[in-house]
Amino acid sequence: MASTVLITGCSSGIGAAAVRRFAEHGWNVAATLRNPAKVHFEHAAGCVEAFALDVTDARAVDAAVAATLKRFGQIDVVMNVAGYGLFGPFETATAEAIQREFDTNVGGVFAVTRAVLPHLRERRSGVIINVASLTGLVAMPLYSIYAASKFAVVGFSESLSHELAAFGIRVKVFAPGAVATNFSGSSLARTFDGDGGPYADAIRKALAAFEANRAAGGSASSPEQVAQALYEAATDGSAQVLYVTGDDAHAVLKARHEMGEEALLAGVRQRFGLAG
């Protein structure tokens, strides 16, 4: 029987690339997204089925897991990719915006993981992969809410890896650096209206720095490169928990080790024009 992976957030970017990569390797893929009618997935060597899933809806989560089990009989890997960015000053973030960010980026991971755990425990095997971000290890300016959500995913994954090891379930968390996706487009919400008021200068400088990096080609990984790394992690059989992907992410972590925390943070502020 072919192995089965359930992937959230498959409408585009990393999630869609992961669907293709696992299917190419002959896996059954439960590709979940809020509106399956908008996306068509090629079967490749494996079988791909799309299921409707809003990770903030507990009933939808349970239904998607049940539908996957009915269709494929088992789940071997769960990959929590669904999430979105929230850019802007913390002070201008409404309670509703903060709640929505955590409901999706953190609560969604919790809900999908909880729904699939009874099945994985019963089989005493499986892999849970949570996609966080480099910003879940080293926070970037004006991403305080997003960083908090991704730091939460990293901590959750590490702790969960301990409590599930006895059941033969491995937990892994990915911290990719910049990825050439729609993250800074429609999937990126803002905490502010207009120019950001007292934070307008900081916002302008940060956006200029992001744009300059993109114009220079940056060092962003492609969704396909991240998807390949995710596939390798799902199948490597190791007890490794944290995976860092992307040249930029490795460079930042190397700099933190070599420069020390204070110098690294000062360098981040300088890069974004925020040095005092």
pLDDT tens for each residue of 86-98: 999 999 999 999 9
Residue 261 in any domain: the answer is no
Catalytic one among 146, 199, 231, 243? 146
Q: Is residue 262 part of a domain?
A: no
Please give the pLDDT value at position 98.
Answer: 98
In the prediction, which pLDDT does 4 show? 98
- CA 194, 197, 201, 202 torsion-angle sign: negative
Beta bridge pairs of residue 176: 245
Active-site residue flag, 243: no
Dist CA 175 CA 265 (whole Å): 19
Residue 109 lies in a domain: yes
Rounded mean pLDDT of 70-91? 97
Instruction: Report the domain count for the chain.
Output: 1
In whole angstroms, give the CA distance from residue 228 to residue 243: 13
CATH of the domain at 27: 3.40.50.720
Q: How many residues does the chain have?
A: 276
**Number of C-beta neighbours around residue 44 at 10 A:** 17
- Please report whether residue 268 resides in a domain: no
Tell me what the pLDDT averaged over the chain comes to: 93
The first and second tokens of residue 267, run together, are 């360098």
Residue of 96, 87, 83, 75 lying closest to 55 (CA atoms)? 83
More confident residue, 44 or 47: 47
- Is 56 within a domain? yes
Q: Read off φ and ψ for residue 198, nearest 5 degrees.
A: -65, -15
Q: Is residue 134 part of a domain?
A: yes
The pLDDT score that the predictor gives to residue 42 is 85
The whole domain housing 245 covers 4-198+221-254
Query: What are the angstrom distances between the C-alpha of 242 and each of 58, 131, 158?
Result: 27, 10, 8
Query: Using one digit for the tens of pLDDT, what is the confidence trace for 138-184?
Result: 999 999 999 999 999 999 999 999 999 999 999 999 999 989 875 55
Query: What is the per-residue pLDDT across 93-118, written as a single tens digit (0 to 9) for each?
Result: 999 999 999 999 999 999 999 999 99
Q: Would you say residue 106 lies in a domain?
A: yes
pLDDT band at residue 186, thresholds of 50, 70 and 90? very low
Q: Which two tokens stand for residue 258?
A: 């070599």
Does residue 153 belong to any structural domain of this protein? yes
Instruction: Quick: pLDDT tens for 204-258.
Output: 999 888 887 776 656 789 999 999 999 999 999 999 999 999 999 999 999 989 9
